[in-house]
Structure 1
Amino acid sequence: MQFVIDPAHPCLPGHFPGHPIVPGVVLLDRVVEAIEADAGPLHGVRLPQVKFLQPLHPGEVARIELDGAAPRWRFRVMRDDVLLASGDVVAGGAP
């Protein structure tokens, strides 16, 4: 799944003035949306491991790569060949 965060997104003012970057929580929201597009609604998730390696700036194209299946997925958020974030999403009460 590819996505772009609009420069007018309400999360950007103050994060950071003059040099906005997309907050990690917005990236994670897109990851959950990508999983739900394939697996259906998730009722509660855990993120036992997440690493943010590079920033995403508004207007840049990013993509989400997923591995795994319910109840556990591994994700990568990429900009071209650059890894921006990676981690695990666990649905519901799964270990």
Structure 2
Amino acid sequence: MCLMPHVQQIRIDDTSATLQLTVVPSLDYFPGHFPNHPILPGVVQVDWVVRLARQYLGVRCTGFSALRALKFSAPILPGRRLSLQIDWSPERQCLDFAYCDGKRPMSSGQIFFAIGAAG
């Protein structure tokens, strides 16, 4: 089972992380989404942000509250190399994120958690 991208490089700076990723063509999300034109589902992109924030920033993300400013600017295809910027704001209980292919934005948004539910 292949559920996560290949993380090639990581830069962590207190409450932010910049990751260089490869979207592995063998991800279990591609078959059926969409037949003959696979793209990475938006919900998976959001899930990766939460998982990677837990892993690399130590954020305890629970008590989901809202998604805001969510924008999918371009489809993410199998094999794509991306950078992912994640910024954790403990006072706002918010993860800001942006996936980019070079300078081209692919998707971005904010994930909010219930006050007191994330650390």
Query: Normalising TM by the smaller chain, what interval?
Result: 0.7 to 0.9
Q: Which residue of 2 aligns with 1:67?
A: 87
Partner of 2:104: 82
Name the counterpart of 2:49.
Answer: 31
Alpha-carbon distance, 1:92 to partner: 2.4
Q: CA deviation at 1:20?
A: 0.9
Does residue 44 of the first structure (1) align with residue 63 of the second (2)? yes
Report the CA distance between 1:53 and its aligned residue: 0.6
Residue type at the aligned position of 1:79: D
Matched, 1:19 2:37: yes
Question: Hey, what's the Cα distance between the residues in 2 that align with 1:86 and 1:35?
Answer: 15
Q: If the length of structure 2 is used for normalisation, what is the TM-score? A: 0.68
Q: Percent identity?
A: 30
Runs of 4+ in 1 over 6 A off after TM superposition: none
In the alignment, the residues of structure 2 paired with residue 17 and residue 51 of structure 1 have an alpha-carbon distance, to the nearest angstrom, of 23
Q: Which has the higher contact order (CA 8 A, sep 6+)?
A: 1
5+ residue gaps, structure 1, are none
Displacement of 1:47 in angstroms is 1.2
Alignment RMSD: 1.8
Which consecutive residues of structure 2, in runs of 5 or more, have no partner in the other structure?
A: 1-18
- Contact 1:42/1:92, CA 8 A, preserved across alignment: no
**Which 10-residue stretch deviates more, 58-67 or 85-94?**
85-94
Q: 1:48 to 1:93 in 2, by over 3 A?
A: farther
Q: Secondary structure at the match of 1:3?
A: strand
Between Structure 1 and Structure 2, how many residues are aligned? Answer: 94
